[in-house]
Amino acid sequence: MADKTERPGLKWRLLSWLGRWMLSLLMGLNRKTVIGAEHLAKAMSAGRPVYIGLWHGRLMFPAWYLRQFKPTTLVSRSEDGEIIAGILRSWGYRTIRGSSRRGSNEAVRHLLRTLDDPHLLLAVTMDGPLGPAHVVKPGSVAAAHRKGAILIPMSGSASRKWVFHRSWDQFMLPKPFGRIIITIGEPLAVDPADDESKVVAALSEAASKLEAEADALANKLG
């Protein structure tokens, strides 16, 4: 279900436009290597919804790559979320607004309905919007699991980057003229009957492993 909030004001539209321009410039000034694209392609042809799980600190890299597929994503109702939602919508994303603090139950209900679409591609920052970093908020994962979605971890890194160490998620942005690595993992081997806490732990571990692999490869190829 797409976001049905009121049209954002001029301030938020301007900030979203500036953010999109800056991010597009940064991404465009880097070479890119994508690892595991075949996993996503195979999952998207399986006739089941696909859930992409990623960590908030590496949001930029999967978000840029996935825009070509016009996926759906969950964005918080915060002021920062308004800017992010504007950027993502300009890239063709459908947004569901909600978070662990505001609109959580409503957002999960929307997710459950959205997950009835066998062609859905859903990308979610599992530890967002406020952390702690690398700690999964289980609501969206549990919803996807109950609906039989294919669960895939995704991450990314850059050989030249800014890391915002004072932010809760150690958010990373690429500097110009380096190499960006985007990593897509294999689908998790889970069954709808599996215990949800086990599924959450498996996806969390896989996403963290992909992040470490992306860092190592970016440092090696940079």
Q: Is 73 contained in some domain?
A: yes
Q: Is 35 contained in some domain?
A: yes
Low-confidence ranges of the chain (pLDDT < 50): 1-6, 100, 102-103
Q: Is 111 contained in some domain?
A: yes
CATH of the domain at 56: 3.40.1130.10
Q: Is 2 contained in some domain?
A: no
Query: How far apart are alpha carbons 45 and 118 in whole angstroms?
Result: 10
Q: Is 18 contained in some domain?
A: yes
Q: Is 210 contained in some domain?
A: yes
Edge-to-edge strands, sheet with 150-158: 31-35, 179-184, 150-158, 50-54, 121-125, 72-75, 94-97
User: Domain range spanning residue 148?
Assistant: 10-221
Q: Is 205 contained in some domain?
A: yes
Query: Can you give the pLDDT at residue 1?
Result: 38
Coil, strand or helix: which one is 53? strand
Query: How far apart are alpha carbons 157 and 174 in whole angstroms?
Result: 8
Q: What's the whole-model pTM score?
A: 0.89
Tally of CB atoms within 10 A around 16: 20
Query: Can you give the pLDDT at residue 7?
Result: 53
Query: Can you give the pLDDT at residue 9?
Result: 66
Query: Can you give the pLDDT at residue 83?
Result: 83
Tally of structural domains, the chain: 1
Q: Is 166 contained in some domain?
A: yes
Q: Left (φ > 0), alpha (ψ -120 to 50) or beta: where does 29 sit? A: alpha
Query: Can you give the pLDDT at residue 104?
Result: 59
